[in-house]
Amino acid sequence: MNPATITAPTPNAAHAPGVAHAPDVAHAPDVAHAPDVAHAPGVIAIDGPAASGKSTVGFAVAALLNYLFFDTGAMYRVVAWAALEKGVDLHNAEAVGLLAETLVISILPAGDAQDGRHLTVLVAGRDVTWAIRAPEVDQNVSTVAAMPRVRATLSQHQRQIGAQYAHGHAGMDGIVMVGRDIGTVVLPDAPLKIYLDAPATERAHRRFLELQKRSKDASFEQVLADMQARDRVDSQRAIAPLRPAHDAHIIGTAGLGVQEIVARIVALAGVSQ
Ligand code: DC
């Protein structure tokens, strides 16, 4: 069986493979004010529970440092989405594991898309960036993410991408990798590990507002219940459970603005702005 193909974003990656495309400079810092990243760690691992701010913060840190932003949760979402789409039994770990090994997943920069995405996710060329954020995927993804064969496949690819970008690659100076087990399992030697956290009600409120923005029908109570269920599975699973690495910097994000959190992380990276 062919292994899953997972393509990391590069500055020249286009929305579709094989199409030349200008670098994504929309969020790059002003060159005149570019921070000095010469001594910054090439790998920054950011973990934390759902809607703790990992994606927004990780994206902003990556843009500021000219690092690749890599959201590993998107990969688990793709597997859950594909299982739903193909009618694969979501409780059959072997069948879902096999599916994970055969999927062709590309994770690319957002490019010109003006719809709030931080990256573009393709499965065999089909844009599933928003499809993998649907409530049905939310409700099933943690089951899939607890499956050993799925984790083995996706973690291996994440590790390869981390190693590829750690010392700069394809015009990027490093990588910000975001997930649940990046600092503990995927990249345990990452020189800078961040764990973002916030109370479940605050995180559910953020997710509820995001869904409303995308005109998705969901009650706050449902969003909170789904999130608590997901947190439970993510933190109690046998393999790579959600928890801070012993050497992670824990940042409580409740009441903090994105720029404030970004500034703390950039300072921890030893970069002066
Ligand atoms: O960050 P997110 O909500 O998009 O993550 C989707 C799911 O994938 C969630 O249940 C946690 C899981 N996940 C994981 O187990 N390990 C990762 N490195 C990233 C995400």
Say if ligand 1 is within 6 A of residue 52 CB.
no
**Mean pLDDT score across all residues of the chain:** 86
Ligand 1 atom with the shortest distance to the CA of 233: 10
Q: Vertex 260, ends 258 and 266: CA angle to 5°?
A: 100
Q: Is residue 205 part of a domain?
A: yes
What distance in angstroms lies between residue 34's CA and the mean position of ligand 1's atoms? Answer: 31
Residue 176 lies in a domain: yes
* Closest CA to ligand 1's atom 13: 73
Q: Which two tokens stand for residue 235?
A: 């933190």
Q: What tokens were used for 229?
A: 């269920």
With respect to residue 17, please indicate whether it lies within any of the assigned structural domains: no
pLDDT of 3 reads 44
What pLDDT does residue 34 have?
64
Three-state DSSP class for 82? helix
Q: How many angstroms separate the CA atoms of 6 and 227, rounded?
A: 27
Cα of 72 from ligand 1 centre, angstroms: 7
Helix, strand, coil shares, percent, the chain, to 5? 45, 15, 40
Domain residues for the domain of 217 are 42-268
**Residue 49 falls within a domain, yes or no?**
yes
Rounded distance between C-alpha atoms, residue 256 and residue 251, angstroms = 10
Residue 221 lies in a domain: yes
CA-based Rg of the chain, rounded to a whole angstrom? 18
- For range 209-233, the mean pLDDT: 87
Q: Residue with the nearest Cα to atom 2 of ligand 1?
A: 73
- Are 42 and 52 within 8 A, CB to CB? no
Please state, in angstroms and rounded to a whole number, the distance separating the CA atoms of residues 205 and 219: 10
Q: Whose CA is nearest to atom 14 of ligand 1?
A: 180
pLDDT band, very low/low/confident/very high, at 25 (cuts 50, 70, 90): very low
- Rounded to an integer, the average pLDDT of 12-36 is 40
Mean pLDDT of the region 209-218: 81
Asked whether residue 258 is domain-assigned, the answer is: yes
Task: Please give the Cα distance from 87 to 46 (Å, whole number).
Answer: 33
Query: How confident is the model over 152-189, as pLDDT tens digits?
Result: 999 999 999 999 999 998 889 999 999 999 999 999 99
Ligand 1: residue whose CA is nearest its atom 4 = 73
Q: How many domains does the chain have?
A: 1
- CATH code for position 145: 3.40.50.300
The reply to whether 119 falls in a domain is: yes
Please check whether residue 20 lies inside any domain of the structure. Answer: no
Q: What is the mean pLDDT of residues 103-113?
A: 84
State the Cα–Cα distance between residues 205 and 188, nearest whole angstrom: 31
pTM: predicted TM-score of the whole model, two decimal places:
0.86
Res. 266: pLDDT tops 50: yes
